[in-house]
Chains A and B, each alone.
Chain A
Amino acid sequence: MNTVGTVLPERIFWIDRGLLKAYADASGDQNPIHQNERFALSVGLPNVIAHGMLTMALVGKYVTDWAGDPAAVEEFTARFIKPVIVPADIKVDLTVVATISEIDGNRIKLELIATSAGIKVLGMAKAVIRK
């Protein structure tokens, strides 16, 4: 039963350097901060970081899987508040959970929380879906 305040099941996506390369190729965003550790360090980052838009795309997958339909999303918003840091040769988590915050007819608004290594990486993350 979908009611305001319902917390949806948590889900973990795993991110590694291979996924960053795949996202870079699929999205056209070849910024070296997402692939080249030496470059990332040279511009003051702690390590290679994930594309904010990869994080948002995975949170979008969480939303459309819950909706049961990749066509369900009408609005989707996120602020990139902290980077997802991706060291070489390991997988880091992107842990996603949502709360139903509004129901208006067949439209459901979700407030989304995304963390990596326990740190909140998205702020003000919201989606409006038709269901």
Chain B
Amino acid sequence: MLNPDSVGRTFAGADSISISQSDINSFAAVIGETKTDVAPPTFLIRSALEQYEKILTAPQVGLDWSRLVHGDQKFLLKRPIVAGDVFSCTATIENYRVAAGNEIVSVRSDFLQGQELVASTWSTLVVRA
């Protein structure tokens, strides 16, 4: 079970997330995208989920990642993501509830370049009973 004290808290994620052209190329190839000067719109999910897993499964938060399914997802992009971008990242646990034994966690991840917010992602993650 998630520690209720963690709800509303913002956690520092990785100090730097570097976006490489090869990562953009691999992601684009799967969906058949040949224009790779910018990343596909859902590209940041990899970094977002890595942040969430690290933060939500930490002992003081305590989520069981092995029973997790993805409920919903939102991206807000202030500008396209390109190779060479280096972001710092935070994750905020925005909401948590238990329904029919399922734990439902809403988390937001912000991607910043210096002080500038470049992108945010919101995810609802469900730990099945």
A residues less than 8 Å from B46 (CB atoms) = 27-29
CA distance A19 to B129 in the complex (A): 29
A26-B26, A60-B40 known; A74 vs B76 contact (CB < 8 Å): yes
A53-B70, A76-B74, A80-B70 known; A64 vs B27 contact (CB < 8 Å): no
A61-B33, A75-B75 known; A25 vs B40 contact (CB < 8 Å): no
Q: Which residue of A lies closest to B123 (CB)?
A: A53
State how many angstroms separate the Cβ of B50 from the closest Cβ of chain A: 7
**Of B28, B32, B42, B74, which contacts A53 at CB under 8 A?**
B42
Q: CB distance B70 to A57 under 8 Å?
A: no
Q: Which residue of A lies closest to B32 (CB)?
A: A61
B residues less than 8 Å from A127 (CB atoms) = 41
Interface set of B (CB-CB < 8 Å, partner A): 23, 26-33, 35, 37-42, 45-46, 49-50, 69-78, 80
B residues less than 8 Å from A54 (CB atoms) = 30
A residues less than 8 Å from B30 (CB atoms) = 19, 22-23, 26-27, 54, 57
Interface set of A (CB-CB < 8 Å, partner B): 19, 22-23, 25-29, 51-54, 56-58, 60-61, 63-64, 69-71, 73-80, 124, 127
CA distance A23 to B43 in the complex (A): 11
Q: List 6 A-B contacts (CB under 8 A).
A: A52-B69, A53-B45, A64-B41, A73-B77, A75-B74, A75-B76
State how many angstroms separate the Cβ of A95 from the closest Cβ of chain B: 16
Q: CB distance B40 to A124 under 8 Å?
A: no
Q: CB distance B77 to A74 under 8 Å?
A: yes
Interface centre among A26, A73, A74, A75 (most CB of B within 10 A): A26
A28-B46, A57-B40, A70-B80 known; A76 vs B75 contact (CB < 8 Å): yes
Q: CB distance B42 to A76 under 8 Å?
A: yes
B residues less than 8 Å from A58 (CB atoms) = 31
Q: CB distance A56 to B77 under 8 Å?
A: no
A residues less than 8 Å from B39 (CB atoms) = 70
Q: CB distance B72 to A60 under 8 Å?
A: no
